[in-house]
Amino acid sequence: MALVMLLLIVAVATAAAVPAELPRLEQSPKADGSLTILAVGDWGRHGEFNQSRVATQMGIVGEKMDVDFIISTGDNFYSDGLSGVDDKAFEDSFTGIYTAKSLHKPWYTEATPWRRSAPPFRKSDSRWICKKSFVVAAEIADFFFVDTTPFVVKYWTDPKNSTYDWRGVAPRETYIANLLEAHGVDLYINGHDHCLEQISSSDSPLQYLTSGGGSKAWGGVYTPGADKVEFFHDGQGFMSLRLTAMEARLAFYDVAGTVLHTWAHAKPAHS
Ligand SMILES: *[C@@H]1O[C@H](CO)[C@@H](O)[C@H](O)[C@H]1NC(C)=O
Ligand SMILES: *[C@@H]1O[C@H](CO)[C@@H](O)[C@H](O)[C@H]1NC(C)=O
């Protein structure tokens, strides 16, 4: 089992905070100013273990919402990543699974410092956009794609760390939660925990959203801290997000497409 990637995506309210040096991909909102997104993680298991069922429901919800793009939160190809550009797992776990027309949109995902990272696969499926540390700028929100693996201390001390290519990875002295709060980040979306979950920060408006149920699931454990667990589902599924300049709405779905939990938040008028 390779649990090597803890990916985070954060959305901030203003474009001003985007460091100029990160690659920026532009994504236009719809004509009505909204942006609709699906997020799924921990999925690549050749369609088995409910991956295909989740994919089918993503296709249906994706069509209803007319999604603009999909965020893949990591741990994409079980159990060991891709062996090379010819690895059939890419077709078996991605191209051949997420076949719905509504899912033929950009799939943004973060490349890990994994030796078997996936950028070359863009060639065989143009949807697959996998880079290291980048920003998707969508006018009403910015999405920072960051591999948070280096923030997991044991990954630096574990002998298995030889698997990773740490070159170019910044020191991890400044932990991520401080950065999120300092920059007024609204949402943090991650995978790697094999569940669906929403946690509200106790000391800021930040929401932690876990969408790690693309196939791997049934972890059976979660550890609430001082923050409030709004929702937890120990099973497969995915998440949708609808953003406008003034409001965020999210929903979590199970393998049958049943809505398990929704949440909405309007921005205070003067922020
Ligand atoms: C698939 O999903 C159903 C419904 O949640 C669940 O009962 C079943 O155990 C899942 N199968 C696997 C292999 O995870
Ligand atoms: C990898 O782990 C070994 C053993 O714990 C440690 O000595 C080494 O510094 C680690 N390498 C990195 C790049 O963290």
What is the number of domains present in the chain? 1
Residue 258 resides in a domain: yes
State the Cα–Cα distance between residues 25 and 165, nearest whole angstrom.
Answer: 24
How many Å lie between the centroid of ligand 2 and the Cα of residue 90? 31
Question: Is the CB of 161 within 6 Å of ligand 2?
Answer: yes
Alpha carbon nearest to ligand 2 atom 8, residue: 157
Q: Is residue 271 part of a domain?
A: no
Q: Give the model confidence (pLDDT) of 161-209 as tens digits.
A: 656 666 666 655 687 888 888 888 999 999 988 999 999 998 888 999 9
**Cβ(57) to ligand 1 under 6 A?**
no
Query: What is the distance in A from the centroid of ligand 1 to the CA of 50?
Result: 6
> ∠ CA 29-33-38 to the nearest 5 degrees?
50
Q: Report if residue 1 sits inside a domain.
A: no
In-domain check, residue 184: yes
CA distance 72 to 147: 12
Q: How far, in Å, CA of 113 to CA of 115, rounded? A: 6
Note whether residue 242 is domain-resident: yes
Cα(211) to ligand 2 centroid in Å equals 30
CA distances (Å), origin 68, targets 12, 107, 156: 18, 10, 36
- Whether 168 maps to a domain, the answer reads yes
> Ligand 2 centroid vs 149 CA: distance in angstroms?
14
Residue 171 lies in a domain: yes
In this structure, what CATH number is given to the domain that contains residue 93? 3.60.21.10
Sequence-distant (6+) residues with CB within 8 A of 50 are 215, 217, 236, 255
Q: Where do we find the tokens 């070359």?
A: 120
From the CA of 213, the nearest ligand is: 1
How high is the pLDDT of residue 149? 75
C-beta 223 within 6 A of ligand 2: no
Neighbours of 254 (CB within 10 A): 20
Give, for all 271 residues of the chain, the pLDDT tens digit: 222 233 444 444 344 444 558 899 999 999 999 999 999 999 999 999 999 999 999 999 999 999 999 999 987 888 777 777 778 888 999 999 999 999 999 999 987 655 444 455 556 788 988 887 899 999 999 999 988 877 777 776 776 665 666 666 665 568 788 888 888 899 999 998 899 999 999 888 899 999 999 998 887 666 777 889 999 999 999 999 999 999 999 999 999 999 999 999 997 765 4
Q: Residue 219 and residue 127: Cα distance in Å, rounded? A: 30
Q: Which phi-psi region, left, alpha or beta, contains residue 66 (left: φ > 0; alpha: ψ -120 to 50)?
A: left
Token pair in block for residue 212 = 């790690």
**92's tokens:** 């078996």
Q: Evaluate whether residue 99 is within a structural domain.
A: yes
Residue nearest to atom 6 of ligand 2 (CA): 157
Is any atom of ligand 2 closer than 6 Å to the C-beta of 163? Answer: no
The neighbouring-strand residues paired with 231 are 198
Atom of ligand 1 nearest to the CA of 217: 14
pTM of the full predicted structure?
A: 0.85
CA 158 to ligand 2 centroid distance, Å: 7
The residue range of the domain holding 110 is 6-266
